[in-house]
Amino acid sequence: MTTQTAPTTGGEAGTDHAAVARLKHRRVTRWTHWINFPLLMIMIWSGLRIYWADVRDPFGFGVGLIGWHWFDFFPDVINERLGLERRLARGMAFHFTFGWLFTINGIAYVLYTWRSGEWRHLLPDRHSPGDSITVVLHDLFIRRKPLPPQGRYNGAQRLTYTLIVVMGGLAVLTGLAIYKPTQANLLTTLFGGYETARTIHFTITIGFLVFFVLHLLQVARAGWPNFTSMVTGYERIKAPADAGQSRTGTPEAAGR
């Protein structure tokens, strides 16, 4: 991938070279990323409506064999404040409508990543497991040494982002398996039956929530420029000494 840069007005204080904007995230990557966020939130919200349509909270704590039910993990007051209120039909309508949009957006991202060659930066390689351990230890302040030079994505990011794509595919397939267990009998059987498919589906949902929290923490830790690069597509770096004014590029040309 050819990186295009454009000079920006004004350099950093105390430096001899101007700052340049370097393309970091292409347009399709940014769009599918930001479109996926509200879609996933609606999917989780509507999915909880379906899940909490049970007569008794499925997350309740107790001893089912002897009929004891100590307390609900999510009492009615929480359901009402979140607008859930055990409305099964409305939850299913939202879930399946936005589920198709979530699927289309995911397919578009995978196809673009494959056709553009971006997968080379994303898929883990043989060094990723070891690199990811180093990155995690560094982020937890256990490893004090500076990280070695990183590529576009470090080992932990390669593993995590690839896992999220796989989880998205499994969420769609297990969702179909529990939505149409008779019509999609083969798919349901491949996942070990209805109950197993349902367990996988909701485990993936919890995984999405955990990833969302950790992702926000990592973005906050990386700083504001890291966030704006996912909005504009560019990050600011110091211009090379011999860059001059010849290395220019327009955002529209570089973002394709």
- The C-alpha atoms of residue 107 and residue 37 are separated, in whole angstroms, by 15
pLDDT in tens, 5-63: 455 544 444 444 577 877 777 888 889 999 999 999 999 888 888 877 765 555 555 54
Query: What is the predicted pLDDT for the residue at 15?
Result: 45
**pLDDT tier, 76 (very low <50, low <70, confident <90, very high otherwise):** low
Residue count (the chain): 256
**pTM, to two decimals:** 0.72
**pLDDT tier, 251 (very low <50, low <70, confident <90, very high otherwise):** very low
Please count the CA atoms within 13 angstroms of the CA of 160 that sit on its side-chain side: 18
Query: What is the predicted pLDDT for the residue at 20?
Result: 80
CA 209 to chain centre: 9
User: Which of 88, 97, 14 has the alpha carbon at shortest distance from 49?
Assistant: 88
Q: For the ranges 125-134, 204-213, 238-247, which has the lowest average pLDDT?
A: 238-247
Going by the DSSP 8-state scheme, the letter that residue 126 receives in this structure is T
- The C-alpha atoms of residue 33 and residue 3 are separated, in whole angstroms, by 21
Query: What is the predicted pLDDT for the residue at 60?
Result: 58
- The C-alpha atoms of residue 156 and residue 162 are separated, in whole angstroms, by 10
75 pLDDT above the threshold of 80: no
130 or 81: which carries more pLDDT confidence? 130
Contact 165, 157 (CB under 8 A): no
208 or 70: which carries more pLDDT confidence? 208
148 or 217: which carries more pLDDT confidence? 217
pLDDT in tens, 165-177: 999 999 999 999 9
Query: What is the predicted pLDDT for the residue at 208?
Result: 92
Mean pLDDT, range 191-217, rounded to an integer: 90
Classify strands 234-238 and 68-71 as parallel, antiparallel or unpaired. Answer: unpaired
Mean per-residue pLDDT of the chain: 78
240 pLDDT above the threshold of 70: no
Structure tokens at 146: 């500076």
Contact 233, 25 (CB under 8 A): yes
Largest CA distance in the chain: 78
- Burial class from Cβ neighbours inside 10 Å (0-12, 13-18, 19+) for residue 49 reads buried
Percent of the chain beyond pLDDT 70? 74
- Burial class from Cβ neighbours inside 10 Å (0-12, 13-18, 19+) for residue 12 reads exposed
100 pLDDT above the threshold of 90: yes
